[in-house]
Structure 1
């Protein structure tokens, strides 16, 4: 074999080795089966849905009784499957054999499930003086199910509708949700802020109250004042005892001293 032939073999080998080193592209197929209920099991609809790279291309609808293509890719599958009587009968049977028998189980852990919310109020304060600047008060409601919820702010029993911000319900990943509502407001002494929560799990609204005078900062200042007062009292008491002892000792000094004449 000549030099040109060897070089050609080497180049061809290198090409195939390089191609083998290239990672294969990722492809994802996904199947979803769904049962849709209206008025309990009065009307039940079953869907079988096929996805390719997150795009649905064909699905079966029990209301129609056949497969429907959603993209060009799904046309061939739909045409082929719709000619298979056994396949169509199988998917039609999912309504009486799968959806209806499992309705009570699914309903008990979804629509009938209730978890009572908890609430906590916190203040985004950048300074110690709560009464000098506007602050953002946040009511965090958490640990509830289902996700539908209504939260209101009250200041001294008056509902606040301005300067109020909401977050959408966020899943905590454990079949519960959390939700927060903020209120931007100035704060005056004696104010009482109430976060009122309305939820399907509650017979009566949940009310979480916050009094600025009873906040951590106010409590800290109160504790500091009390500690200072107590320590001051202790120092005064100790000083008084020492003074009385020294005075008592001075009173014991004899007054009839004898002096030796010079």
Structure 2
């Protein structure tokens, strides 16, 4: 109500001043810096023709006018006990109380990450191979991705991003391992998060290079062709043998 009252008075003053173009915009904003909402800042801002005329800031606990029209109105509102009490209630109803309820109902729960392990080109590196372990859509923000090579933690040639916000209260993170492949080795990406009872392990299964797949495909095709020719030869031989007439010899 105070924001609307503030707007109405300012609008009348602007109309009386003979301004032709009129565009009034009231913005109610809640700025939150933690999930519990206790440090939330509630703002009521009034714009006229894209110019900020005045605002209420819950941190300051008062209205502030920025033009010759709005300054005396802001001072008048600040001197009203009823209006200031209403603004304090608005701070809790429109901001802190809403954030706390939203946090408890939705964000207070943990969300398990979706993990993807893949190989990418190493690019300019002293190692010929690179693995990327990515975790998507998890909450809360704190998470740990660890590389294990033959059961031992790898600390060198590892780079990781920070937890990146998706914009929907969820996060993602990516960790890269540059390495030189060795026969028979086992590489694991271990993920630790509040949503998991125990760390989850994701084994890297090396994919065969395309050149080897081509050789296997050609070899398989050749083997199948040889089997077809062999079967066809046997059928032909049996038919030819059954068509012969045996002549007795004396």
Post-superposition Cα deviations, 1:121-143, rounded to whole Å, max 9, x if no partner, equal: 111249xxxxxx71221112223
Q: 1:125 to 1:48 in 2, by over 3 A?
A: closer
Displacement after TM superposition at 1:202 (Å): 1.1
Displacement after TM superposition at 1:44 (Å): 7.2
Q: 1:191 aligns to what?
A: 185
TM-score w.r.t. structure 2 length?
A: 0.63
Post-superposition Cα deviations, 1:188-215, rounded to whole Å, max 9, x if no partner, equal: 2222221111122111122211121x55
Q: 1:152 aligns to what?
A: 146
CA distance in 1, matches of 2:211, 2:191: 26
Q: Count how many residue pairs are aligned between Structure 1 and Structure 2.
A: 220
Aligned-pair RMSD on alpha carbons? 4.5
Q: 1:108 to 1:189 in 2, by over 3 A?
A: same
Instruction: Establish whether residue 113 from structure 1 lines up as the match of residue 104 from structure 2.
Output: no
Q: Indicate the SS of the match to 1:93.
A: helix
Q: 2:29 aligns to what?
A: 32
CA distance in 2, matches of 1:36, 1:139: 29
Instruction: Establish whether residue 48 from structure 1 lines up as the match of residue 46 from structure 2.
Output: no
Q: Indicate the SS of the match to 2:174.
A: strand
Q: Indicate the SS of the match to 1:48.
A: strand
Q: 1:98 to 1:29 in 2, by over 3 A?
A: closer
CA distance in 2, matches of 1:253, 1:117: 79
* Contact 1:191/1:211, CA 8 A, preserved across alignment: no
* Contact 2:42/2:91, CA 8 A, preserved across alignment: no
Q: Which has the larger radius of gyration?
A: 1
Per mean C-alpha deviation after superposition, the further-off stretch among 159-168 and 221-230 is 221-230
Q: 1:68 to 1:139 in 2, by over 3 A?
A: same
Q: 1:120 to 1:231 in 2, by over 3 A?
A: farther
CA distance in 2, matches of 1:97, 1:171: 27
Alignment of 1:1-262 (within 5 A): 30-34=27-31, 47-48=42-43, 50=45, 58-61=55-58, 65-67=61-63, 76=71, 79-94=75-90, 102=98, 105-125=101-121, 134-172=128-166, 174-212=168-206, 220=213, 224=217, 225-226=219-220, 228-243=222-237, 245-246=239-240, 248=241, 252=245, 254=247
Q: 1:232 to 1:60 in 2, by over 3 A?
A: same
Q: 1:111 to 1:35 in 2, by over 3 A?
A: same
Query: Which stretches in structure 2 are left out of the alignment for 5+ residues?
Result: 1-20
* Contact 2:160/2:174, CA 8 A, preserved across alignment: yes
TM-score w.r.t. structure 1 length?
A: 0.61
